[in-house]
Structure 1
Amino acid sequence: MTAILVSEVGPRDGLQSIKSIMPLAAKQAWIRAEAAAGVREIEVGSFVPPALLPQMADTPELVAFARTIPGLNVVALVPNAKGAARAVEAGVHGLSIPFSMSETHSLRNVRKDHPAMLAEIAAVAAIARAGGVHFAVGLSTAFGCTLEGAVPEDTVVRLAVAAAEAGAMEFSLSDTTGYADPAQVRRLVRRVRAEVGDLLTTLHLHNTRGLGLANALAGLDEGITTLDASLGGLGGCPYAPGASGNLVTEDLVLMLNAMGYETGIDLDQLIAVRTILAEALPGEPLYGFTPDAGPMLDYAERIAR
C-alpha cells in the first residue's frame, strides 16, 4: 500500500484569503482535531507582517501550540529571509517560500523579480540549514497565471534548477490560479523531475475549475507523494484575481482511502472538524461533496483491502 502525505494548508492558505479573522482558540481546536483525525502535517500559518495579513498575526502562538501535538509536522510559509528567521525562532519543523514562475505575479505577491527571489531563496536556505529546519520552495503559478496567462514550461524548469542550486531541499508545483489540467500536470512533473529528481514531491492544487482531484490523480500516476489540501476548500490567493478554491481535504481523503492509498486519516473524524470552522467563521462558505453525500456504502470494505 502506497503512503501519501496529505498536508493540510487551510490554517494558512485557507484563512489568508478571507476577510474574517478566526480566533486563536478556534485555530488551535482546528489543528488539534485534524491531528487527532490522523493528519500528519499542517501548515499552521505564515510569517508575514501582520499589517499585510492580520489573519496570520498569531502564527508564532500557533507554532508553539502545534509543537505540543505528538507526531505532527508543523510547517509555515515565509515570504523572505526575515520571515524565515522568525519561523525558525518560533520552532517550526519546516518552512516554505513561494517562488512565482510568473514574474508579474512575483512582483505583485512579494515585490521581487526572479533574480531577487533567487537571492532570497539562497538566504532562506542558509537560515534553514543553520536552524536545522527543512526548507521547501513552492513553484507558484507553475501552470498559468491570471495576470500573465500561460507560463512557459521551459521557464518553470529553468527556475526550478536555479532554486535547487540556491539551496532548496524540496519542491512543490503549485497551481495557484486553478489553470492546470491532468495532461499538463503529468508533463510538467516529468520535466521538472528530470532536472531536480526526487526533490519534487508535492502538488499544491486549486479546484477553481473543478479539476483538482483529476490533477491530483495525474500527479499520483507520476509518483507525487504529497498533496496539499484545505479543509472545506477554503482559500485561494489574494494576489491572483479569481483564483479561489483549494483542493478540498475531505474529498481528497475519500478518494485516496477508497483507492487503497495509505493516508492514516479517519474520514469521519476529518469531516467532523468542519463544525469548528462553521462555528468560528459564520457565513463563510465551505465546499466539498463528501461531507454532503457521505462515503460510499462499501467504503469500509474498500479501505480494508
Structure 2
Amino acid sequence: MKRDLAAELRRPSALSERAGKLVFSLCAAASLVTTGGIVAVLLHQTIGFLQAVPFTRLLTDTHWTPLFAEPRFGLWPLLCGTLLTTGIAMMVAIPCGVLAAIYLSELAGERQRRIVKPLVELLAGIPTLIYGYFALSLVTPALQQIIPGLSGFNALSAGSVMGLMLLPVVASLSEDALSAVPTGLREASHALGVRRTATIFRVVIPSASPGIAAAVLLAASRALGATMIVAIAAGQQPQLTLDPRDSVETMTTYIAQVSLGDIPTGTLEYRTIFAVGLCLFMMTLVLNVIAHRLRRRIHRQERP
C-alpha cells in the first residue's frame, strides 16, 4: 500500500518535470530560431548587395552617399560616427559607473545604499527618446557656451548623454563583481595595515577586474546599438571625422532613416540597411562573446 502511494505521488511530479523541461526547451529553441532567422535575412540581403557593390569598395571609399544620384558606398563615415559616439559614451559611463559601484559596494551604509541604488537604476528606465531631446535642447546649448565651433547636432552631446544612459549598466554589473570578491581578501589586507581606500584600489578592484571588464563590454555593445539619442542629437550627416564637435551619422541612425523613408523594397539602396546591419551585428556579437567569456571566468573563480 505504501509503495503504491509513493508511486502515485512520484508520477505527477515526473509529469510536471517533463512538462517543465519541454517548455524550457521550446523557449531556448525559440531564441535560437529567432537569432538564426535574423542572421539568415541579414546574410541573404547582404549577399545581394555585395553582388552589386564589391566589398573592397566599402573599405576603400571614404564617402557614404547611397541615396544620391551618383551613389558612393564607403562604410568608414558611418563606422567613424558610431565609434566616436560610443567612445565618448564610454568615457562618461566607465568612470562614473565604476565609482558608483565602488561607493555602493564598499563605502555606502545600508540606508544610503537603499536610497542611491534605486536612483541610479532609475536612469535605465528613462526612454531613449527623452535622452535624445535632453541632449539636443539642454546639453548642446550648454556646451555651445563653453566649446567654440560646436554645431547644433554634434557627437559630443549625444555621446555624453548616452554615457549617462549606460551608467546603470556599468554600475550594476560592476557592483555585482565587487560584491563577489571574497571578504577574506579585504580582511587580510586590513590585517596587514593597509588602509580602506588602498584596499579597494589595490585588492578589490584587481580581483573584480574581469567582471568590470564584462560590464564595460556589455555597455559598449548597447552603445553601438543606440538609435534615438544619436538620431536626434548627433545629426544625419555621414562624415569621416573624429572631431566630436561635428555632426555625424551612426549605423543605427542610417538604418532608421532609410527604413522609414520611401525606398522601394529590393533595390540596392534598400539592401544597404542590411549590409550596415550585418556589420553592426558582427561588432556587437564580438563584444558580447568577449563579455560572456569574462563572466564565465568570474564564475569559475568563485567556485571553491
Q: So what's the TM-score if we normalise by structure 2?
A: 0.22
Higher strand share: 1
Q: Report 1 or 2 for greater relative contact order, CA contacts < 8 Å, sequence distance ≥ 6.
A: 2
Q: So what's the TM-score if we normalise by structure 1?
A: 0.22
> Which structure would you say has the larger Rg?
2
